[in-house]
Amino acid sequence: MNQYIGDSSKAGLKTKLERFRFNYIGLPLIKFAYKIRFLVLKKSLKTQLSIHFALKILIRALDPDSRLHGYDEHTDKMVHLATWKITHQEEFEEDCCIEEIERPEDLKKAIHDLRQDYFSNKEVIDKLASKAINNENIRSLVVRYFLVMNFTETLQKKTKTAQQHLTRARELDASAEPLEAKHLWEIDRKTKKKYKSIRNEIADKTAVKISFDEINIGAFLSILSALFLTSGFLYEYTFLGAFGIDVTRYFTLADYLASSMEAIRFSLVGAIFALIGFIFRVNGDSRMSPSELEYNNKQNDKMYYFLLATSIAATAYGYFYSKEMMFAYLQLTSLLLIFRIPARFYIRYFAQPLQAYVIISITLIFSLYLYTSARKEVYEAKVATPSSVEETFLIDPNIKIPSKSLLLLAANSQYFFFLNTETKKTLVLSKQRIFAVEENE
């Protein structure tokens, strides 16, 4: 009896020990092995995707006038179909019956649509695919694609399809051999590097650059002169017009040019940080396709709307409690709205959408700061009191107005424009009637 109990306890102890080994040693090792297998499979799928994108950009680069995806819908479709024709040739054979292959319904529909588009443009696509496969860089990339597919199918125990991909690779390169897991990382790195290089070459064609040739300098000077005249007029019209002064009666073209310096002092200096940030962004954006710009905007939607809502709330708060703060947040709100103008607007209405994007944005930024700066000066002048006047103008004694209550609004080659801080009325005096200026203590 005692011997039976002893044997039972030994058997129970052995079972517990086996469970312990399985639960704390065997099972973790199995999980670890599956995780490694999953990571390798995931990497192989990502490498396939990298090669697919690289093939598209290389096929696109065969055309010397090519541009990034999103500019020409027809070209985008031809490149996409040519890439699929090269990598999935069996899908585009006339006798291929895709309905018999077990696939999700949405994938079946997508391939059915691809086949329809292919047969509608068969001659063009076959010509592009043939030209692509004869390119050495594209051919070597296609070989890598089939080898990665062979590795993926082998990992999933799909022996038949794995062998088909290896055969396709050897049709293009007789020396092609199956890959090992360690090769995936190197292939992925080289493929992404190649993609980035070719993409940058294509993006350079649409990138916004500063050129100092004679034509650009002439155009730049013409635009700059017009900007000076326009900004001078608009600034004085906004600022002095708020006090009932008709600037067309007192200003000449030379005065507008001179006052544009004042406008730039308030608007461009205020906008300089926004413009610097904008310029840094422009070069990067100009190297992206319109669809990529739209995608980036969508990715940043949450942060953008949070900043916009905060800025609008701060502007509303400033309107009731602090006008000076209101103008600052109004500028920020307007900037956020300017940068949000959708790329499709420029694509639809302009032949050079990215150049239009730059010019329109800079013009709007400058105009925004010009207007808000002028309105801020109007507000500060209207709330000024005699004690806040920093200068005393000694004027013609025949003018019965206390000179210490006069706040200088602006001046040009012939006139001084004052605001009486006591009565809030404006006064326009010719320079001959101003004798001297003294600083108030």
- Show me where the domains of the chain are located: 2-203, 214-382, 386-439
Tokens of 361: 């944005």
Tokens of 211: 């050129």
Residues whose CB falls within 8 Å of the CB of residue 66, separated by 6 or more in sequence, listed in order: 60, 75, 202, 205
Least confident among 199-208, 265-274, 358-367: 265-274
Check if the beta carbon of residue 439 is closer than 8 Å to that of residue 404: no
Q: What's the chain's Rg over C-alpha atoms?
A: 36
Q: Is the pTM of this model over 0.75?
A: no
Tokens of 30: 């199995």
pLDDT of 382 > 90? The answer is no
Report the C-alpha gap between 368 and 363 in whole angstroms. Answer: 8
Mean pLDDT value across the chain: 78
Report the C-alpha gap between 277 and 270 in whole angstroms. Answer: 13
Query: For the residues 52-73, what does the mean pLDDT come to?
Result: 84
pLDDT at 424: 84
Instruction: Report the amino acid identity of residue 192.
Output: K
The CATH classification number of 386-439 equals 2.30.30
Tokens of 408: 């200088």
Check if the beta carbon of residue 135 is closer than 8 Å to that of residue 168: no
Q: Is 56 exposed, middle or buried (0-12, 13-18, 19+ CB in 10 A)?
A: buried
Report the C-alpha gap between 235 and 375 in whole angstroms. Answer: 9
Tokens of 16: 């517990």
Helical (H) or strand (E) element with 427: strand 426-430
pLDDT at 47: 92
Give how far Cα 64 sits from Cα of 59, 133, 205, Å.
11, 17, 10
Q: pLDDT higher for 250 or 68? A: 250
Report the C-alpha gap between 194 and 57 in whole angstroms. Answer: 10
Report the C-alpha gap between 102 and 107 in whole angstroms. Answer: 10
Report the C-alpha gap between 414 and 421 in whole angstroms. Answer: 23
User: Highest-confidence range of 20-24, 56-60, 208-212, 292-296, by mean pLDDT?
Assistant: 56-60
pLDDT at 212: 46
Check if the beta carbon of residue 78 is closer than 8 Å to that of residue 125: yes
Strands (E), 217-365: none
Q: Is 18 exposed, middle or buried (0-12, 13-18, 19+ CB in 10 A)?
A: exposed
pLDDT at 214: 44
pLDDT of 405 > 80? The answer is no
Query: For the residues 348-356, what does the mean pLDDT come to?
Result: 71
Report the C-alpha gap between 419 and 243 in whole angstroms. Answer: 8
User: Highest-confidence range of 69-78, 155-164, 413-422, by mean pLDDT?
Assistant: 155-164
